[in-house]
Homo-oligomer: A and B are copies of this chain.
Amino acid sequence: MKKTVSIKDIAKLTDSSITTVSFVLNGKGRISEATRKKILDVAEKNGYQANRMAVGLRTGVSKVIGLVVENIGGHFFGALAKVIEEEAEKHGYRIIYCSTNNDIQKGREVIKMLSQQLVDGYIITPLKGLEDEVLALTTNNKPVVLIDGYFPGLNIPHVLVDNTGSVVNGINCFIKEGYKKIGFVTVDIELVQLTERLQGYSDTLKQNNIKEVKKNILKLPFDIDKYNAVEVIKNYILKNKNLDAIFFATNYLGILGLQALKELKLSIPDDIAVISFDDNELFDLYPPGITSIKQPTYEIAKSAIDILLSQLMDNKTDISDLKLQIPSTIIERGSTRAK
């Protein structure tokens, strides 16, 4: 229950002024080595810790970064969060996180909540419809870096995987191995990431003179539950008997897809070849091994936090056109073995 010591207490204990203590603690001003030592000593002994609220109020700097992601519990975002925290910590920043669950309303609330001068900068997973809120932050002079997406047409720095290129590589892998009737399973939600992935699919088919067939593309409803999702995918497979390969646009879809194929007792890759976006342990272990697009999670997170930190330390340089598309790696496994 003992009260926390303030700068005032240290001043009293060392017979000096508040200013002197503050100067010493912050390495400013002109103070003799003797008093410096004494103050540092007493501060140390009494376990002095600056009151962050007071510092924040006075300086307008909280040393806290807001991280707004789709779902902190997810594979990908969890991994990002880990890296971001570690890097931020090295520079004395802490992270407040919020999940939006891809819900625009929740996104709005979350940003509003964070913007009450509680946070110095933001890393945000963009969501269509959140443009105004994010712009409001930047006009309030708070640096923002978008991650895993961007706002088309807006000049906000962002870093994400090269979605289109990744899918191009994936589809080309199918083609190289002799698969030509390629399906694409995605989610029906307006995210640039997904649009770009679909684009990669279309582009590659065109480039290889393969006619794109509408019904080979499945767009799952956004909020479908797991059981029904598997059913829909099963149905899609049954109705597209001609398909010899399927590309799943996200990790989650890939897993659902494997479930569906399992329930239909179809063999991979003999009946159907498979590639999924986002690598994970399951894909490595699940026989015959599922070829996947491995996102450079570390690089994405590291770049994002680096850009943000550079901006926080010196916001003179303009970073508004820092737009990074980081290439992915395709990990070829048994699920795309030559036909």
Which A positions have Cβ atoms within 8 angstroms of B? 1-2, 4, 49-54, 56-57, 62, 64, 71-74, 78-79, 81-82, 85-86, 89, 94-99, 110, 112-118, 139-141, 255, 258-259, 262, 281-282, 284-287
Contacts and interface: CB of A to CB of B under 8 A. Distances in A.
B72 A82 contact: yes
20 contacts: A1-B141, A2-B140, A4-B140, A51-B116, A52-B116, A53-B56, A53-B62, A53-B117, A56-B56, A57-B57, A64-B96, A71-B82, A73-B81, A73-B82, A81-B97, A85-B98, A94-B114, A255-B281, A282-B285, A287-B287
Contact of A78 (B4, B52, B74): B74
A113 B49 CA distance: 9
A57 B49 contact: no
Q: How many chain copies does the complex carry? A: 2
A274 to B, nearest CB: 13
Contacts of A57: 51, 53-54, 56-57
A29 to B, nearest CB: 22
B115 A99 contact: no
A51 B117 contact: yes
Nearest to A89: B98
A78 B262 CA distance: 28
A73 to B, nearest CB: 4
Contacts of A285: 255, 258-259, 262, 282, 286
Contacts of A255: 281, 285
B99 A86 contact: yes
B99 A85 contact: yes
Nearest to A106: B89
B85 A97 contact: yes
Given A52-B118, A72-B82, A86-B99, 12 more contacts: A49-B112, A49-B116, A50-B116, A52-B116, A54-B57, A56-B56, A71-B82, A73-B82, A89-B113, A94-B98, A259-B285, A282-B286
A281 B283 CA distance: 11
A82 B106 CA distance: 14
A4 to B, nearest CB: 7
Nearest to A50: B116
Nearest to A73: B82
A117 B47 CA distance: 13
Given A50-B116, A53-B118, A78-B74, A1 B97 contact: no
Contacts of A62: 53
